[in-house]
Amino acid sequence: MPRYAILQSHPPDNCPLTNERVRKFAMEHLPHLDEMARARGITVIANDHLDPAHKAIMIFEAPTAESVRDLVMEAGFMHFTEMEFYMVTPVAELVARADQFPTVF
């Protein structure tokens, strides 16, 4: 199944550890992420904070990119994080296909 990664960040004043309203929202919604993901046929591979920065990484196995997008919107991440969304290719697969790509140098 395809993999997708989301890098998240937010300013310190919008952090669930420092902002009371964001914390309340996060504590009400984020514990349900795995359950919400399963309902969409998505597996959460990683959901980790990058200490000590105000950054996190989430990695999913999902049927489509749209299903991951819909999940993070439904979970409410867009309310307090900036997100970068990426398709993921295992390095071993990329190395195995390296000869298929043209070079420029």
Looking up residue 85, the CATH number of its domain turns out to be: 3.30.70.1060
> Is 37 part of any domain?
yes
In a domain, 105, yes or no: no
CB 16, CB 23: distance < 8 Å = yes
Cis bond before residue 11 (omega within 30° of 0): no
Q: pLDDT value at position 43? A: 98
Residue range(s) defining the domain that contains residue 70: 3-100
Q: What is the pLDDT of residue 81?
A: 95
Q: Are 4 and 65 in contact (CB under 8 A)?
A: yes
Would 67 be classed as within a structural domain? Answer: yes
State the total domains in the chain.
Answer: 1
Structural domain contains residue 10:
yes
Distance CA 105, CA 95 (A): 18
pLDDT tens string 28-84: 999 999 999 999 999 999 999 999 999 999 999 999 999 999 999 999 999 999 999
Model pTM score: 0.89
Q: For 82-104, how does the pLDDT look when each residue is reduced to its tens digit (9 = 90+)?
A: 999 999 999 999 999 999 999 99
